[in-house]
Structure 1
Amino acid sequence: MMRDHLVQRLLKVIDLRDWDQLGTLVTDDVRYDRPGYPTIHGVAQLLDFYRHTRVIADGRHKLESLLTDQTQGFCWGSFEGISRSGEPLFELFADWYVFEADRICRRRSFFYKPAI
């Protein structure tokens, strides 16, 4: 699978809330770092996060740019959606990925908000 396509597919699957498909795009020992949450380790924790913990009820990622090579990738863009409490959401984001055996083994998300 082309690395660009893998990142695009991951974001589309998340937007569609297709959690079964999400599990096929990552390695069993996937690691996900996301601001405000403990590091997620493994497919079970990743799927639990998306099913039960993530504050987003619905939304869409819009990629502005995507760069990949054989081992890693980086993208940035925006996300627009609705929270589980019904609040509108809009956020600029950037993601870094590490690839292994045509799947994602690591992801780190960054959000464009004041933090320090």
Structure 2
Amino acid sequence: MDPHEKIIRTLFSTIDTNDWATLRELVTSDITYDRPGFPKIIGVDDLCDFYQEKRPIGNGVHELRSVVSDTLQGFCWGHFSGVSREGAALDELFADWFEFHDGRVRRRRTFFYRPAI
């Protein structure tokens, strides 16, 4: 398995299991994360705060359907199923783009499969 593919797969399993210590090891300290509906997330502390306090998901599982990567970037798409913090069922197709630096995620951008324009 390509090292960047491994990082992507590990990142999602880390998020699904709420393993914030490992998440900190997978990203750079100055990571930027763009996610629809939220202000830009800048830095590892902001990222962990997002997952622990602001993300509307209570729990769930990402099922990656495909991952591709090269020496600088990676892309994946898959399906998420879970429950919101309020108890509502969640079912979402998603895609993510990643930029890597020194074996860690430096930039991430998430896309959701839903009407936008």
Same fold (TM over 0.5): yes
Number of residue equivalences: 116
Deviating 4+ runs (over 3 angstroms):
none
Structure 2: which amino acid aligns with 1:2?
P
Using structure 2 for the length normalisation, give the TM-score: 0.97
- Matches for 1:27-38 after TM superposition, within 5 Å: 27-38=28-39
**Kindly, what percent of the aligned residue pairs are identical?**
51
The aligned counterpart of 1:106 is 107
What do the CA deviations read for 1:47-87 (whole angstroms, capped 9, x no partner)? Answer: 00000000001000001110001100000010000000000
Q: Give the deviation of 1:31 after TM superposition.
A: 0.3
Cα distance in 2 for residues equivalent to 1:113 and 1:3: 27
Structure 1: which amino acid aligns with 2:39?
P
Using structure 1 for the length normalisation, give the TM-score: 0.98
The aligned counterpart of 2:82 is 81
Cα distance in 1 for residues equivalent to 2:116 and 2:46: 26
- The RMSD of aligned alpha carbons is 0.8
Q: Give the deviation of 1:95 after TM superposition.
A: 0.2
